Amino acid sequence: MERLENKTAVITGAATGIGQATALVFAREGAKVICADINEAEMKKTVEKIKENGGQAEAAYLDVSSEDSVVDFAEKIKESYGTIDILFNNAGVDQQGGKVHEYPVELFDKIIAVDLRGTFLASKYLIPLMLDNGGSIINTSSMSGRAADLDRSGYNAAKGGITNFTRAMAIDYARDGIRVNSLSPGTIETPLIDTLVGGKDEDMGEKFREANKWITPMGRLGRPEEMATVALFLASDDSSYVTGEDITADGGIMAYTWPGKMLIEDEKWKKGTE
């Protein structure tokens, strides 16, 4: 039996990366998937892939940082579906901004608006569609919400906020049959990485990927499909007694205190990477 049979799922940030991979997995498991994003061209490709594989999906424009856009989206979903069973708050942006005293205010505001406020807005206006029947909400946080990165304080603040916001939501709606958990990916091979540091064939992009493979105990970057299967677990009844949790999927990075011996025994460690 398909694990999401007869379920309706909303996925924000569904055009590429983790959102796209999750949309494909959810549809494969029987869900009707509403793919929401501001990137309409890529989002339509996601929907086409789902339909080619025999799944059910539709595309919908959504700017999660805009309350008007979210309200309009929620009203259309209510009109078309009445209720939803799964909400995957996955839309997000990231960009280096420098140390705090150099960090552009407009960049900080943008990241907070999309990542943290967007998670709040989508939840606020779509949760009413889940109150009658319960369901599952998954928020995309990050290992960067549990520890910090150089020059990315805005992203760290947003993702740290999402992790604790998830716990607050879990308490608020546990008696309504709505489970709320967050997924914290490590470094995943997505278009966002290309935007942040460059593609695989670019010098900085190659150096970034090699450095991450070196410090990641599993010796490689994650794949979007691997995050999608964690989201599937959280969306399905397989996790029926799990709420208020943050599931980290980072290849082991958060498991150690510092990469001292890995740096000292560099050749041995490097040979273990893919």
Left, alpha or beta for 247 (phi > 0: left; psi -120 to 50: alpha)? beta
The DSSP letter of residue 158 is H
* Count of CB atoms situated within 10 Å of the CB of 54: 8
With b meaning 16 or more CB within 10 Å and e meaning fewer, what string describes 220-240? ebbebebbbebbbbbbbeebe
What is the spatial distance between Cα 23 and Cα 145, in angstroms, rounded to a whole number? 24
Cα→Cα distances 131→36, 200, 228, Å: 21, 44, 25
The DSSP letter of residue 257 is S
* Count of CB atoms situated within 10 Å of the CB of 150: 8
Catalytic residue among 61, 103, 125, 155: 155
Token couple for 223: 């794949």
| Active site (annotated) includes residue 173 | no
Burial class from Cβ neighbours inside 10 Å (0-12, 13-18, 19+) for residue 137 reads buried
What is the spatial distance between Cα 91 and Cα 64, in angstroms, rounded to a whole number? 7
Residues annotated as catalytic are 155
